[in-house]
Amino acid sequence: MTTARINGIHLAFDDSGGEGPAVLLVMGTGSPGRVWDIHQVPALKAAGYRTVTMTNRGIPPSDECPEGFTMEDMVGDVVGLIEHLGLSSVALIGTSLGARIVTETALARPDLVACVIGMAAHARLDPVQQAMTRGEIALSEQSYLLPPDYRAAVMALQYLSPATLRNEGQAQDWLDIMAFDDGRISKGHKAQLQISEQLVDRSDAYRGISVPMMIMAFRDDAAIPAYLSRELAGIVPGARYLEVPETGHYGYLEQPEAVNRQLLAYLQEVFPASRSAAAPRASATLR
């Protein structure tokens, strides 16, 4: 990844380059931008898009900023990166906290944004998500670590679809991956969690979003339940809404082909990489 001085910090990003329309992907809490490289970046590049991924402040190799930061800072990072790259019209894709960031960016700087795709997008958190966030912050301040197997099992229940967990081979693979990390929450990761803890209901503000937006919910998402995304779709003027079945919070990793198909269909409709290429309309019901 490349690191540039943007918005007062060192921000890490990866730019595929090329002449196609630019798509900037923004990750959720605790994750680096390279997570998009597994499935979404190859699909977007193959479709002719210039893909840019960024690692949000709080997560190395971007500055951790352990003293804390605000949602306005994170929006400023997105805007700063777009301007640093000399782009004038960008499609923004974000998931979870990243969806909140790109939604806020569309509200603050619609002149830079061609369209927005928000996975697990939301205007507010309900009491369960708020309690979970507070609990994770409290855990970060403790000296003990949860047993790896227990932590992996909790993560699997929180982030994966029951359809994935019913496949014992897939479930074990995910548990092995999740247990590999020791579960330590860095100061930068904690600062990102504190952003979520401080989020207020932005429903009224989001009625002012003026750029095209598709809201993608993951039907079995326990971290950001689909009803919160559906609620947001009823708020944003003209927003497209769809649910991807048999997906949890990690839906873009669980069912990447279904997710990518919908991403590309929507982009081709509102922000085409090639105006001569035909793509089906993104649909609200997936089979």
CB atoms within 10 A of CB 162: 12
CA atoms within 13 A on the CB side of 280: 8
Active-site pick, 31, 96, 196, 229: 96
Reference 185, options 69, 74, 64; nearest CA is: 64
* Pairing between β-strand 22-26 and β-strand 90-95 as defined by DSSP bridges: parallel
Catalytic residue status for 122: no
User: Are the beta carbons of 14 and 3 closer than 8 angstroms?
Assistant: no
3-state secondary structure of 47: coil
Q: Which two tokens stand for residue 100?
A: 């909140």
From the candidates 63, 196, 229, 249, give the one annotated as an active-site residue: 249
Reply yes or no on whether 10 is catalytic: no
Q: Are 248 and 218 in contact (CB under 8 A)?
A: yes
What 3-state class would DSSP assign to 197? helix
Give me the catalytic one of 62, 122, 221, 229.
221
Q: Three-state DSSP class for 248?
A: coil
Helices (H) and strands (E) in the chain, counts: 12, 8
The percent helix, strand, coil of the chain (3-state, each to 5) is: 45, 15, 40
- Catalytic (active site) residue 221: yes
Please give the positions annotated as active site.
Answer: 96, 221, 249
